[in-house]
Structure 1
């Protein structure tokens, strides 16, 4: 990684003495981060302000408007660096700006710089992302539509609509034999070989749209395919997610955006699912859906799609491990719900979607019934709650 560093030092101090006293810190920045010392903040490059001495407040005020927020201020425990930085941060907040002070030993400073670099990089990816809704949202998602303009203002992401007929037209001319990608399934229950080949063609058609349109993520109104092509898209969406291309179900853009944000921030793939059963005594929730990235589960079976009984769905088995449950929602994508829990079982009830996990929640499960953010949640392996909360604060939540 490479960072840009703007130095601030008061002219009251002898420049040579300052440089000699802080050479250890300059060397640390160069060796650890390939630091380049610059005079201004560049648009697409991670930049921090190194407050070297006291008496720099006036200098900072002059360059404030040219700095990208949030402003990261580095300090040491020498030459009144920290007290001047505190005054600087107070000024930033008085201007309704956002900033952070990094202070501590070199190990702690390195960790903090890496964290904010990671946030900067993730937000850059999100700002540059192009996410498409293919066919629009399913009719039952009455609270899960978003305002493209306002959501784009909030995040920078481009949201576009693609008619589902574009997918059908590509499918008509889509040819190719099944390559055996899902042969790792431990069992094939209902689907036929023709069903699996048909889903492979759906995957190829979606991949063609993604490549031609230069998309970073898609959300598909997948239930429409059940009647039009007598098949489901579950395997196609699973494989795209396996490949690092976020693909959400049912035209649910908030859930798809959540999955993309999680990937951009943590490089983790996720499982979009319905909360299907809440047990108040056990404080558990069963989450279920017919598609899951196969790279998230230890084994899986190929089943039919639950509601329709046709096509191909995935019944995956998760490890019993800690998970994070998260959803970004609201018309402007300006609300977030995040909590943690632990998978305690993989139920196999035929009256629910095929992949099912029972999660013992760390928060009271009644919270899910008080202020829901739509009917889908996003399940991520591991505890990323702290990282998510810090990132959301970084972007201005």
Structure 2
């Protein structure tokens, strides 16, 4: 990402001091993978002292991240200027540092991811096939959806193109019920879908899967659970079953986190305990994983993931019109297995409760990331006009 960098201070601060701050923060931004561009519409403004309000406004762009600290009246100046920027319709976010010697951290990266998501506008999603018949609350009205037939996505698929990826997947597993050759079509299909997404300009995709269609499983010999798990690991948000609401939720969380999201069925929601289950998960989200047969058909293949305990997590589901969103903050915990899908993850809810899940009334699948992006997600959802529950 390219940003504009400015240093703001009172008129009494000498030019060599300003230059010293500028060079220091320029180096730090480069360390975060950011480059400078004078005409960028995103500004990083370092507030050295109080009395810098007018300099902040003069340096501001449409989107502004303002860095301040408790010393020299830096923070009061930043707060005053940020209010003026918001009043003028511009975006402003103040990040407080302990002092000028504190190094830039993940908060700046998250703020810039949030800005990038806001700037992206309405996403364009791919719908491969049609939503599965049991999904009666998965549609969306405010996104662009490009639908293609399932058969088109599978036509001419060469399983050999996925063999190397299948080998790596099996090598990373604690055990596998299937050979590399049996897993190869799923890896090849992930690559095919990624190519389709790039070609058609999709920001993510969802697939009406054939996991419970015994005839389709018999004919194809495999299911796409692992394909979708791998797609999320490749940076393409991909939801199961044609669920567009889950896809939008995954898209938001993955963009804010910078890592893969996943989704699950709500099988337990009691007090502050939540258990989600599904037949897969991106392998990089798991502490360890095995490759097993799919639920019911036992066909190749599903990922049985063991998630790390004590990991921060953020969970989300949006409504069809994006007017309401269920947003939860949690930490992963060990939970008793239930008779359901292979991958199961327990959450202790820290913001929100099981009661909110029932009362929100937004359906089944919950998207999640193993990352604390709760505040950024809340800010984004508020920005687009959603009422956040709880």
For the aligned pair, the TM-score class normalised by the smaller chain equals 0.7 to 0.9
Report the equivalent of 2:139. Answer: 145
Structure 2 CA distance for aligned equivalents of residues 314 and 159 of structure 1: 28
Per-residue Cα deviation, 1:311-345 (whole angstroms, up to 9, x for no partner): 42222222333341411412244524122033213
* Contact 2:187/2:230 (8 A) holds in 1: no
Structure 2 CA distance for aligned equivalents of residues 36 and 298 of structure 1: 34
Report the equivalent of 1:352. Answer: 340
Report the equivalent of 2:22. Answer: 26
Q: Call closer, same or farther: CA 1:395–1:20 in 2, change over 3 Å.
A: farther
When the two structures are aligned, how many residues end up with a matched partner?
370
Matches within 5 A, 1:158-169: 159-169=145-155
Report the equivalent of 2:116. Answer: 124
Report the equivalent of 1:100. Answer: 93
Q: CA RMSD in A?
A: 4.1
* Contact 1:273/1:376 (8 A) holds in 2: yes
- Structure 1 residues not aligned, in runs of 5+: 152-157
Structure 2 CA distance for aligned equivalents of residues 55 and 29 of structure 1: 21
Does residue 213 in structure 1 map to residue 213 in structure 2? no
Which of 71-80 and 312-321 deviates more? Answer: 71-80
C-alpha displacement of 1:141 = 2.6
Q: Call closer, same or farther: CA 1:268–1:202 in 2, change over 3 Å.
A: closer
* Contact 1:41/1:47 (8 A) holds in 2: no
Does residue 367 in structure 1 map to residue 339 in structure 2? no
Structure 2 CA distance for aligned equivalents of residues 124 and 395 of structure 1: 14
C-alpha displacement of 1:83 = 5.5
From 377, 380, 386, the equivalent of 2:366 is 377
Per-residue Cα deviation, 1:195-243 (whole angstroms, up to 9, x for no partner): 5455345345434423543545321111378444443211222222333
Structure 1 CA distance for aligned equivalents of residues 336 and 286 of structure 2: 11
* Contact 1:325/1:379 (8 A) holds in 2: yes
Q: TM-score, normalised by structure 2?
A: 0.75
C-alpha displacement of 1:18 = 4.2
Structure 1 CA distance for aligned equivalents of residues 92 and 287 of structure 2: 42
SS of the equivalent of 1:314 reads strand
Q: TM-score, normalised by structure 1?
A: 0.74
SS of the equivalent of 1:366 reads helix
Q: Call closer, same or farther: CA 1:325–1:54 in 2, change over 3 Å.
A: closer
Structure 2 CA distance for aligned equivalents of residues 102 and 277 of structure 1: 37
Q: Call closer, same or farther: CA 1:37–1:234 in 2, change over 3 Å.
A: closer
Does residue 88 in structure 1 map to residue 81 in structure 2? yes
SS of the equivalent of 2:25 reads helix
Does residue 337 in structure 1 map to residue 327 in structure 2? yes
C-alpha displacement of 1:52 = 7.0
Does residue 232 in structure 1 map to residue 223 in structure 2? yes
Report the equivalent of 2:107. Answer: 115
Report the equivalent of 1:135. Answer: 129
Report the equivalent of 1:294. Answer: 283
* Structure number with larger C-alpha Rg: 1
Structure 2 CA distance for aligned equivalents of residues 187 and 235 of structure 1: 15
Q: Call closer, same or farther: CA 1:260–1:388 in 2, change over 3 Å.
A: same
SS of the equivalent of 1:138 reads coil
Report the equivalent of 1:155. Answer: none
Structure 2 CA distance for aligned equivalents of residues 201 and 51 of structure 1: 51
C-alpha displacement of 1:395 = 7.4
Matches within 5 A, 1:149-188: 150-151=142-143, 159-171=145-157, 174-176=158-160, 178-179=163-164, 180-181=166-167, 182-184=169-171, 185-188=173-176
Does residue 268 in structure 1 map to residue 259 in structure 2? yes
* Contact 2:5/2:26 (8 A) holds in 1: no
* Contact 1:225/1:232 (8 A) holds in 2: no
Structure 2 CA distance for aligned equivalents of residues 9 and 170 of structure 1: 63
C-alpha displacement of 1:346 = 6.0
Per-residue Cα deviation, 1:124-153 (whole angstroms, up to 9, x for no partner): 267286532212433333322112xx44xx
Structure 2 CA distance for aligned equivalents of residues 195 and 123 of structure 1: 42
